[in-house]
């Protein structure tokens, strides 16, 4: 990591929120520097490494006239072109800090993959799932690595497909939510993979799927709740007839969290919704 700028630090508005939960401390935390303009990339990366959260975002003036704001998204290990819980959390922070959308009822976020639409779905926010950049089965070598890293038998892996909407996710489907929850991954064998795992709950359960996300290469062995992965999963599962037009996925259960991702296919889009619980408002000196 390069050294951050030695320029004089400024006080900037800062918020920390918990995403994909109504109950604080049960979702996925996000740090948001509301006044990100003027910060160089090294300082952004250093602050994200310091917060040690799965993601930290920086809100900036848009470069696209159709956007309301621009966001840069950093993990402790590097920058992401797109991520889901930072999208919802950043939009919540932008609105809560006085942001005024150009279009009533809709926020347009600019990020490295382009423009992302965000709408209010009742009391919660929802973003339109970006199209998949890569889909279909992965090659046999990657499948063998995934099987080894998940410590399962090859026969236990019902599907292994690309659901890449920017962060290069692969998705593994297991036979049940219980099988997903019992996983004890080998993160050394998982090196280089961004691997999501999904399994269905029995009919009649409050949630339809359990999801887990493993990204050891970005300094996040397991992500508590992952919007980008759930967005890719929704497009694949619904397109393959494996999920209904509306469903709720739970994630973070294995980590003591209670994340809930609300998926709805309507108006020609797949919307990925979640509640946001604010925790911290203040200033940060950067």
| pLDDT over 70 percentage in the chain | 98
Classify residue 138 by its DSSP letter: P
Secondary structure of 37-66 as H, E, C letters: CCCCHHHHHHHHHHHCCCCEEEEECCCCCC
pLDDT at 218 (0 to 100): 87
Query: How big is the CA angle at 149 (ends 148 and 153), to the nearest 5 degrees?
Result: 40
Read off the pLDDT of residues 3-23 as tens digits, 9 standing for 90 and up. Answer: 665 567 899 999 999 999 999
3-state SS class at 21:
coil
**Cα(250)–Cα(10) distance, integer angstroms:** 39
Q: Strands, E, within the chain: which ranges?
A: 11-19, 28-33, 56-60, 69-75, 78-80, 106-111, 114-121, 124-128, 134-137, 159-164, 170-173, 195-200, 209-215, 220-223, 246-251, 259-266, 269-274, 276-285
Its pTM stands at 0.94
**pLDDT digit string, tens, across residues 88-131:** 999 999 999 999 999 998 999 999 999 999 998 778 999 999 99
Confidence of residue 87 (pLDDT cuts 50, 70, 90): very high
Q: What are the boundaries of each domain within the chain?
A: 11-129+273-285, 134-267
Q: How far apart are CA 95 and CA 110, in angstroms?
A: 15
- Give the residue carrying structure tokens 């996983």: 183
Give me the architecture of the 134-267 domain, per CATH.
Answer: Roll (3.10)
11-129+273-285 shares its CATH topology with 134-267: yes
Region of residue 4 (phi > 0: left; psi between -120 and 50: alpha; otherwise: beta):
beta
Residue in 88, 134, 132 with CA at minimum distance from that of residue 238: 132
Q: How many angstroms from the chain centroid is the CA of residue 122?
A: 21
Q: What are phi and psi of 100, to 5 degrees?
A: -120, 105
Helices (H), 97-188: 140-150, 177-181
Give catalytic residue positions: 55
Interatomic CA distance for residues 230 and 274, integer angstroms: 11
* CB atoms closer than 10 angstroms to residue 256: 9
Q: Are 180 and 212 in contact (CB under 8 A)?
A: yes
- Spell out the residues 6+ positions from residue 239 whose beta carbon is closer than 8 angstroms to its own: none
pLDDT, one tens digit per residue, over 25-51 is 999 999 999 999 999 999 999 999 999
Q: What does the H/E/C string look like for 198-250?
A: EEECCCCCCCCEEEEEEEHHHCEEEECCCHHHHHHHHHHHHHCCCCCCEEEEE
Instruction: Report pLDDT for 134.
Output: 97
Q: Say which CATH class 11-129+273-285 falls into.
A: alpha beta
Q: At a CB cut-off of 8 Å and minimum separation 6, what does 266 contact?
A: 245
The average pLDDT across 208-231 equals 95
């Amino acid at each position: 990591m390069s050294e951050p700028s030695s320029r004089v630090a400024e006080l900037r508005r800062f918020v920390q929120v918990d995403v994909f939960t109504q109950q604080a401390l049960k979702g996925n935390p996000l740090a948001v520097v509301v006044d990100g303009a003027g910060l160089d990339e090294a300082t952004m990366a250093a602050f994200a490494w310091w917060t040690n959260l799965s993601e930290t975002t920086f809100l900036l003036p848009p470069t696209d006239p159709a956007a309301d704001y621009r966001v840069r998204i950093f993990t402790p290990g590097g920058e992401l072109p797109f991520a889901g819980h930072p999208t919802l959390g950043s939009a919540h922070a932008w609105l809560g800090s006085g942001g005024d959308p150009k279009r009533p009822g809709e926020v347009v976020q600019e990020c490295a993959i382009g423009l992302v639409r965000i709408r209010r779905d009742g009391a919660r926010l929802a973003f339109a799932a970006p199209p998949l950049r890569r889909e279909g089965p992965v090659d046999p070598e990657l499948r063998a690595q995934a099987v080894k890293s998940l410590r399962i038998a090859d026969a236990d892996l019902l599907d292994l497909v690309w659901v890449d909407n920017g962060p290069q996710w692969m998705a593994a489907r297991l036979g049940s939510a219980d099988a997903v929850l019992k996983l004890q991954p080998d993160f050394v064998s998982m090196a280089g993979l961004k691997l999501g795992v999904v399994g269905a709950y029995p009919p009649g359960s409050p949630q339809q799927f359990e999801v887990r996300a493993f990204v050891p290469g970005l300094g996040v062995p397991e992500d508590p709740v992952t919007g980008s992965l759930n967005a890719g999963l929704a497009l694949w599962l619904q397109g393959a007839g494996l999920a209904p037009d509306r469903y709720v996925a739970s994630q973070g259960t294995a980590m003591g969290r209670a994340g809930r991702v609300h998926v709805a296919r309507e108006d020609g889009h797949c919307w990925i919704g979640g509640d946001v619980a604010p925790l911290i408002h203040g200033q940060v000196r950067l």
